[in-house]
Amino acid sequence: MTLKRLAKKIVGRDRHSFWHRYIYEKPSQKWRNELISNSRYPSELKAYGENFVSDGLLVLPEFFKGPELKALQDEFEKLLNTNGKECDHGEFQIPRNPLVNSQTVLKAALDPLLLDIQRFYWGKDLYMSDVVASRIEPIDVKDYGSFQWHHDGKRKYSKTFILLSDLEPDGQRTEYIVGSHKNWHKDWDSGRDSRFPSDRFEGDQKRASITGKAGTVAFLDANGFHRGNRNSTARRDLLSVCFTAGEMLYHFGEIENKVFDELSDLQRSTIDRPPTIWNK
């Protein structure tokens, strides 16, 4: 067997090949230790970071509160009114370009502690790959798209979710199978291979939900099994910030100088990527 065929046998039909996982993604413990020793919140960062690494999911209740939360909610409402696009089934999305041109959004998305938790997870420098915001109205619909069990088909790919509305345990929540971020999905080529029937994780002890008051922040690795839920309980407003160390970068379009100028060096290097590695 040739080396190429052997590699194919190991990694399946994965067009990203194992280089992605073992070279782009491999965390460095030394790098993590330095991150902690340079942090203003070393003990929190270590505890949160280790939790995220072991579970693939971490929830920080009411991280944003008071005026900071109100500013973020007002900005979401404003951007939804000016730039929101209606999708199917009472779903509205704000595209990435207006989001990356909002100082209020970037301040929260790249908050120093939240960013460091993501950096700890990857154990190396990373990029903000994408940012999306959505409102889902309370509607009962059959499972579709991300509202069915799936993984994102990108291998390791982490997200920071910022809840902008209260989300009850029976609400339009995201569910996650704790620990499933370590899975190696051997055969997937299309969205279809990465989606699963609704009863796939029924009764699973490791099934957890992202819920809480507005301002709650959750971290998840979308390589793990997860799903959104649609039902008629209450509206959900969500800001979702995506991170990667190497591949899967989405084109933000122009970022205005006045927005860029307000950022720290670390925040700038997180959103500013060489054009050659843009994915879309």
Name the residues that contact ligand AKG, by CB under 6 A. 146, 152, 159, 174, 222, 226, 228, 240
Measure the CA–CA gap between 61 and 77, rounded to whole angstroms.
Answer: 22
- CA of 97: how far to CAs of 75, 106, 131, 181, 199, in Å? 14, 12, 9, 29, 37
Residue 239, beta-bridge partner list? 133, 162
Residue 165: name its binding partner from Fe ion, ligand AKG, none (Cβ under 5 to 8 Å by kind): none
In this complex, which beta carbon is closest to Fe ion, that of residue 79 or of residue 222? 222
In this complex, which beta carbon is closest to Fe ion, that of residue 148 or of residue 231? 148
Nearest distance, CB of residue 222 and ligand AKG, angstroms? 4
Measure the CA–CA gap between 262 and 247, rounded to whole angstroms.
Answer: 26
Measure the CA–CA gap between 178 and 136, rounded to whole angstroms.
Answer: 24
Residue 244: name its binding partner from ligand AKG, Fe ion, none (Cβ under 5 to 8 Å by kind): none
Nearest distance, CB of residue 3 and ligand AKG, angstroms? 34
Nearest distance, CB of residue 159 and ligand AKG, angstroms? 6
SS3 115: helix
Residue 174: name its binding partner from ligand AKG, Fe ion, none (Cβ under 5 to 8 Å by kind): ligand AKG
Closest residue by Cα to residue 229 from 274, 168, 164 = 168
Residues near Fe ion, by CB under 5 A? 146, 152, 222
Nearest distance, CB of residue 260 and ligand AKG, angstroms? 26
Residue 224: name its binding partner from Fe ion, ligand AKG, none (Cβ under 5 to 8 Å by kind): none
In this complex, which beta carbon is closest to ligand AKG, that of residue 25 or of residue 32? 25
Nearest distance, CB of residue 246 and ligand AKG, angstroms? 18
Rounded to 5 degrees, φ, ψ at 272 are -95, 115
Closest residue by Cα to residue 245 from 87, 118, 153, 145 = 118
